[in-house]
Amino acid sequence: MPAATAKSAYFTGIRDGLPFILVAGPFAMLFGVVATEAGLTFAQAMGFSVVVVAGASQFAALQLMVEDAAIALVLLAALAVNLRMAMYSASLVPYLGAAPFWQRALVAYVNFDHAYIAAMARYEARPEMTPVARSAYFLGVATPLVPAWFGMTAAGALVGTAIPPEYAIDFALPITFLAMVGPMLRTVAHMAAAFVSMVVGLALIALPSGLGLLIAAGCAMAVGAAVETWMERAS
């Protein structure tokens, strides 16, 4: 494959990833603030973000650490919340499975929700893309997100409680998910899965961190697959 094709896909990914800074930045800053309030040092907060690179599981683990939970429970909660990445990875295999190992390893590290959703939309719209071009696009979307994630975590850890609570910077995450997932609900199966995940997630909101979401995701996948299978048979 010509190098220019991968290069073009990479820069297109950067362009598409830049708007996500407006969301990932405040969320990373919020983690930095919460981490310092919980007693973590600057180095510990930064290490958390650099090693884990997963905001939701970082918050879940941090909350349990504040509550003096056992290490095993902390790790289990973080893993449970982050299991959606396993679902992401499985769905990326048909698109990136033939890409070089180093590209797949980088994609695994920078597998942000934003990058995944943007990449999947691009792959569906451009089925002619090769595996190398697809991985280049994914890495392009993640390129502005990674320094924003680390930089804003550092800013939050340094500023700490100086950010007024009325700023409510935690609003960015749910709004982003709605904006990204909404346009992807194009079929009855998609909408059925979204509805089931919403109902089950709300019904199980009292369960420990991440467990209700995992159950809701599993139910949504099962319902979506069942509806799609039923529609294919009906047609």
CA 1 to chain centre: 30
Structure tokens at 48: 């958390």
pLDDT, average across residues 189-196: 87
pLDDT given for residue 1 in this prediction: 43
Higher pLDDT, 15 or 168: 15
Distance CA(61)–CA(83), nearest Å, equals 14
Say which residues have a Cβ less than 8 Å from residue 59's Cβ, sequence separation at least 6: 31, 34
Distance CA(101)–CA(104), nearest Å, equals 5
CA 48 to chain centre: 16
pLDDT, average across residues 16-25: 89
| pLDDT tens digits, 70-88 | 777 677 767 776 777 888 8
| pLDDT tens digits, 98-123 | 999 999 999 999 998 889 989 999 99
Distance CA(55)–CA(69), nearest Å, equals 19
Please state the pTM of the whole predicted model: 0.71
pLDDT above 60: residue 9:
yes
pLDDT given for residue 165 in this prediction: 63
